Amino acid sequence: MALKATIEKLDTYRKRLKQKKAKPISRKKAERIVAKLDAKHDALKAELKAAKKPSKQERLKAKLEVVEELQARAAWLVKQIEKQDD
């Protein structure tokens, strides 16, 4: 479901790009976002490992799931940009 919304947003972006109302997303910028998400993922993993309270562990696990979903979307976006560049 979230992927469907992402695809719709990308289609809207592409229409705006054709109308010259938006700037193209560079692969470099997308890869920089992926790197930030990877760093956040690693930090959350380390924090989860150190957490002792079950409530904090649950919150960190939820955050970790969100970051993993964002990583999947970012990876997909990078692939879409690569297709567009070809």
Question: What's residue 14's pLDDT?
Answer: 83
**What is the maximum alpha-carbon separation in the chain?**
53
Q: Which residues contact 30 (CB under 8 A, 6 or more apart)?
A: 74, 77, 78, 81
| CB proximity list for 11: less than 8 A, separation 6 or greater | none
Distance in Å from the first CA to the final CA of the chain: 28
At 8-55, the pLDDT tens digits run: 887 888 889 889 898 888 889 889 999 999 999 999 999 999 999 999
pLDDT digit string, tens, across residues 51-71: 999 999 999 999 999 999 999
pTM of the model: 0.76
φ and ψ of 59, to 5 deg: -60, -45
